[in-house]
Each structure stands twice: as structure tokens, then as C-alpha cells.
Amino acid sequence: MALRRYTFRLYPNKTQERELFAARRLHGYLYNACIAHRRFEWKKNQKTVDYFQQQNCLPAFKKEWVEFAYLHSQALQSTVKRVDLAHNSFLKGLRGLPKFKAIRNYSGWTYSSRSGWKAKTNGKHGVVTLNDLGITLKMRGQAKSWCTPTTLTIVYKPSKKQWFASFTCNVSVEQAKFGSLSDLKYESIVAFDLGTATAITCFDGKKFEEVSNPRFTKNTEKKVKQESKKLRRKRAPNRKKSIKASNRWKKARRQVSKLQRKVANQRADWQHKITSDIASRHDIGVTEKLNTKGLTRKARQGSKRKKRESAVLGVSPMSNFRKKQKAGLNKSILSVGFGTLNQMIAYKIEAKGGLLLRLNTRRVKPSQRCPKCGTVHKDWANLSNRYHICDSCNFEIERDRGSVLVMYNVATNQQQGCGTHLSDSGCLSSTSLTSKRKHTGSMKQLGQMKRQKSQRNSKVHGKPHRLALG
Ligand SMILES: [Zn+2]
């Protein structure tokens, strides 16, 4: 089983849309109220409010504020949970303190279980009924494989002025054809690497395949820049000085977001086409673990110590040229969407019962290793070094091709100097590599937490007895 999300566009009529907006506003108010509650308790009493305290407040809250009474209780709970998630990720240092959200930008609400709504669809168009609002909405869209949906999120996109229904479904995935790593058949195995000069380089054992980088942003960037300049010249809103946006400003902003949306759509379309093509032709994918976050990190000025040293020597720690170079690299990495490409190939290969192997970059060093003799060349790590010639065996190959070849060889146990077993190269199969997101307590994990909590409580209650016995 795999959890999939399917999004359908909703087509509400005027009265239905009014209902949707009203519900969204209420959920937004609740969200802000929860944040206010947490802030107040912290400021006054230095107390942290947890999710359960707020959840238990809901019935009393509904009695006091009767306009909330008609909304589905689980939907309200999941809005409270949103605040909790935001707060937890703040405590983990993943983002800043949760802010109050403007109602006009508030995205929507979630039904966390199967109650409160009903979807009449087999994955192709259909209708969805929201019981608490008492409306049935037409929806359009298609799901590749459909099953009974488990949760529903209603989303409003202000920039598009469109409503969406986003379902999560437990879709059954074909059982993996390969029992364990040692049973691997190397019939349709593909090694791929994501680069900047060529977006994807593949090697399937016979020939190389290169997918060039489309660089959408480059084409549209100029236009976006022009339009943004126009936008800056119009009267922007300033809520503090109570200046309203001019109609020309609104119009210009629509134009900018239209262009940005176009780029996003083009990118998504391209990504899906490319990854579907690769995944449909091969059963096993081999790649390296990629750290996009590190790759696209801003070019740093260097450590404090380095700064001091360079101040003494009178040289700049990182030349402006290098900074610009890094910025350019970042842009082209982000323009293709590295992380998404990797994920897409992974889930598409898995969806058809294949396997994705991720090699440990540090141990395998695909871009520094000679595919033929296995010698590691430290100077190959330099990105400007596009063509590699091995000084110990005179093997020569292009940079991207070389690293793909190394990965293919490692996966098929043909690589020199890398051990004879896949586990030697720190290989992780896709099954063992579910995304390593830091746990911030999702709705799904809530049930577990509740259970743990009740166990803890019973333990606390049980303690005095034991003490009494002792
Ligand atoms: Zn060599």
C-alpha cells in the first residue's frame, strides 16, 4: 500500500462558493485564535499549550462562538493540528514562530477521516458532498489508480481564484518483483544522475542517454522581470498606512503571477514526462543520494576564522566571481527541480513494482572515481572539470557520463575498488529509504500519541499502588 494524493478542481456555483468562503474564514479565525492562545499562555504564565489542551477546548469554544457549531468537529480539530504542526516544526528549528495568517490568504481546511464528506467518483471527475456545509460540488480531474479515499482537504488558491479537493488514497502497489537485493536481475537496470549541463544522464548498460536542460526560467525570467518592474511602479497596498492597492497594481500583479504559474506548470509537465519515460522503460533505478539543500545553499562568506585570516592577508574570503557562479548553479539546479525529479523517478519505479537504489555518495564517489580502474581523483570534484582523463589507465570520459557509469558498475558489482557487495558501497534500497523528514506529529501520528499518553497516565496512576506495596 502506498499513500497517494489526488487533487481535483472544484466547480462551485455562486451560493456554494459563498459557503466555502464562509467556512474558510471560520477555519482561519480558529487558526489565529489557537496561535493567540499559545502566545498568551506563554507570555503570561510561561506555559506551552499542547494540541490536546486546545482540542479539549473546542466543545466549549463552539458553545461560546455558535457560528462555528455547524462545522465538522474533526475538520476543526485538524485546523488546531495545523497550528500544532507549525509550532512543533518551530521548536525543532525547521522554521520561524508561527504567525497570524491573513484570512484572505488562508488556504483551506481538512477532514481527517472518512466522516463528514462523501466523494462519488471512480477517480474520474464526479462530485463531492460536504455534509457540514450541506453542499455538493462538481469536480474535475483524473486519478491514475483510485481507491477509497481516506482524507479530504479543501484548498483555495487566491492567485488562481480556484477551489480544489485534495484526497489521500491508500493505493495498492504491485508487490515488488524482487525479494531481496541478492535476487536482482540486471535486465533493465538504469543508472541516472542529475546535472546542470544536462538535466539527466542515463546509462542502461548499452548506451548513454542525455536529457537536456530546458531552462524554462531563463526564457520567462526576462518577461517576469519586465512585468515586475511595471508592478513596482504601481501603487502597492500598505495596510499600516491604510493605502489601498490601485487597480493597475492588481492588474500588474495578476500578470506577474500568471507568468510565474506558467513556468511552474511547464516545469511540472516536463518533469512528469521525463520521469514517466525513464520509469516505464526500466525496473531498477540507480542513483546517488542527493543533498539538494546543501547544493543550493547560498554561497557563504566563509567561517569567522577564515574571515579573520583573510582580513590579515588582505584577500576576500570568497571572490565575487565564485559567489556569482554559485548563484548561477543554484538557479539552474532549482530551475529543473532536483529533489522532485529524484522523488518522481523513485515513486514511479516503485509504483510499477521496481526498485530504486541510492548509493552513498561519500563512499562511492561517482564523480571522482575512474569507471575503469577505480582510482579516485580528487581534482575531478571540481565542477568546472567537464572532461575526465584517468592518469593511471588513460580512460577518458565526460564528467556526467563517468559518474553514471560508476554507479551502474557499482550496482552490477563490476566496479573496481568499491567492494564486491552492494552493501559495501553503503547502498540503500528505496524500501528502506522513506523520506527522512523530522517528526513533527502529523494527524496520523496523533492516534499513537493519544495511546502513549493514556498508557503514561495509567502508569502514573499505577505508581502509588506499587509504592504502597513496597
Ligand atoms: Zn582509470
Question: Does pTM top 0.85 for this prediction?
Answer: no
Predicted local confidence at residue 437, as pLDDT: 46
Total Cβ atoms within 10 A of residue 27: 24
Q: Which three cell numbers stand for residue 123?
A: 477517480
DSSP for 149-195, written as a single string: EEEEEEEEETTTTEEEEEEEEEEPPPPPS-SSGGG---SSEEEEEE-
Predicted pLDDT at 257: 87
Ligand 1 centroid from CA 377, angstroms:
9
Average pLDDT over residues 59-71: 92
pLDDT of residue 313: 46
> Ligand 1 mean position to 211 CA, how many Å?
26
pLDDT digits (tens, 9 = 90+) for 270-310: 888 888 888 888 888 888 876 545 555 554 444 455 555 44
Q: Which of 103-117, 155-169, 296-310, 389-403 has the lowest mean pLDDT?
A: 296-310
Q: Output the CA 376–ligand 1 centroid distance in Å.
A: 8
Residues 320-363: tens digit of each pLDDT: 555 555 555 555 545 555 667 878 888 788 777 778 888 877 77
C-alpha 375 to ligand 1 mean position (Å): 6
CA distances from 286 to 205, 305, 354, 357, 404 (A): 12, 40, 11, 5, 9
Q: What is the pLDDT of residue 194?
A: 78
Q: How confident is the model over 223-249, as a mean pLDDT? A: 89
**Averaged over 77-106, what is the pLDDT?**
91
Does 73 score more than 90 pLDDT?
A: yes
Q: Are strands 135-142 and 2-11 parallel, antiparallel or unpaired?
A: antiparallel
Cα(369) to centroid(ligand 1), Å: 8
Ligand 1: centre distance to CA 416 (Å):
9
Beta carbons of 278 and 272 less than 8 angstroms apart: no
CA–centroid distance, 419 to ligand 1, in Å, is 16
pLDDT for 37 beyond 90: yes
The pLDDT value recorded for residue 15 is: 94
Residue-level pLDDT at 19: 93
Question: What residue has cell string 491514475?
Answer: 144
Would you place residue 175 in the very low, low, confident or very high pLDDT band (cuts 50, 70, 90)? Answer: very low
Nearest to 30 by CA among 117, 85, 108: 108
| Residue 382 confidence (pLDDT) above 50 | yes
The whole-number pLDDT of residue 249 equals 92
- What's the 371 CA to ligand 1 centre distance in angstroms? 7
| Set of cell numbers at residue 460 | 502514573
How far does residue 184's CA lie from ligand 1's centre (Å)?
27
Q: How far is the CA of 289 from the centre of ligand 1 (A)?
A: 24
Distance in Å, CA 396 to ligand 1 centroid: 8
**Burial class of 405 by CB neighbour count within 10 A (0 to 12, 13 to 18, 19+):** buried
Q: What is the pLDDT of residue 348?
A: 83
Q: How far is the CA of 245 from the centre of ligand 1 (A)?
A: 64
Cα of first residue to Cα of last residue in the chain, in angstroms, is: 49
What is the per-residue pLDDT for 248? 93
- Residues of the chain above pLDDT 70, percent: 73
CA of 203 to the centre of ligand 1 (A): 19
Range 239-265 average pLDDT: 88
In the predicted model, what is the mean pLDDT of residues 5-16? 93
Which cell numbers in the block locate residue 160? 488562481
Instruction: Decide if pLDDT at 435 tops 50.
Output: no
Contact criterion met (CB below 8 Å) for 299 and 323: yes
CA 193 / ligand 1 centre spacing (Å) = 20
pLDDT at 176: 44
Average pLDDT, the chain: 78
Q: pLDDT at position 262, please? A: 84
pLDDT for the residue numbered 329 = 53
For the chain, the domains span: 2-171, 181-432
The pLDDT tens digits for 128-142 are: 999 999 999 999 988
Q: Is the pLDDT of residue 144 over 60?
A: yes
Ligand 1 centre to CA of 384 (Å) is 20
Does the pLDDT at position 66 exceed 70?
yes
How remote is the CA of residue 394 from the centroid of ligand 1, in Å?
A: 6
Separation of CA 295 and ligand 1 centre (Å): 27
- Rounded CA gap, 141 and 8, in Å? 5
Range from 105-119, 166-180, 221-235 carrying the lowest mean pLDDT: 166-180
CA 386 to ligand 1 center in whole angstroms: 16
Q: How far is the CA of 84 from the centre of ligand 1 (A)?
A: 54
Q: Is 421 helix (H, G, I), strand (E, B) or coil?
A: coil
Question: Residue 8: pLDDT band by 50, 70, 90 thresholds?
Answer: very high
Expressed in angstroms and rounded, the spacing between residue 210 Cα and the centre of ligand 1 is 23
In sequence order, which residues have a C-beta less than 8 Å from that of residue 216 and are 6 or more positions away? 263, 266, 267, 270, 335
What band does 380 get if pLDDT is binned at 50, 70 and 90?
confident
Are the C-beta atoms of residues 11 and 137 closer than 8 Å to each other? yes
What is the distance in A from the centroid of ligand 1 to the CA of 374? 6
pLDDT of residue 9: 94
Confidence at 424, pLDDT banded by 50, 70, 90: low
* pLDDT of 30 higher than 90: yes
Q: What is the pLDDT of residue 82?
A: 93
Ligand 1 center to residue 329 CA distance, Å?
28
Long-range CB pairs of 65-73, under 8 A, 24+ apart, other chains included: 67/26, 68/26, 68/30, 70/132, 70/133, 71/23, 71/26, 71/27, 71/132, 72/111, 72/115, 72/116, 72/117, 72/131, 72/132
Cβ(93)–Cβ(424) below 8 Å? no
Distance (Å) from CA 399 to ligand 1 centroid: 13
Residue 182: which residues within 8 A CB-CB, separation 6 or more?
none
- What pLDDT is attached to residue 330? 54
194-225 confidence digits (pLDDT tens): 776 677 888 888 888 888 877 666 778 788 88
Task: List beta partners, residue 409.
Answer: none
| Centroid of ligand 1 to alpha carbon of 385 (angstroms) | 16
* Alpha-carbon span 433 to 123, nearest angstrom: 29
Interval 263-268 mean pLDDT: 82
Residue 434: pLDDT over 50 = no
Q: What is the pLDDT of residue 441?
A: 60
Q: Rounded mean pLDDT of 13-42? A: 94
**Count of C-beta atoms within a 10 Å radius of residue 155:** 17
Distance of alpha carbon 195 from alpha carbon 208, whole angstroms: 14
Look at residue 109 and tell me whether its pLDDT is greater than 90: yes
Burial of residue 360 (CB within 10 Å: 0-12, 13-18, 19+) is middle
Å from CA of 427 to ligand 1 middle: 23
234 C-alpha vs ligand 1 centroid, how far in Å? Answer: 61
Ligand 1 centroid distance, CA of 388 (Å): 10
Beta bridge partners of 128: 119, 137
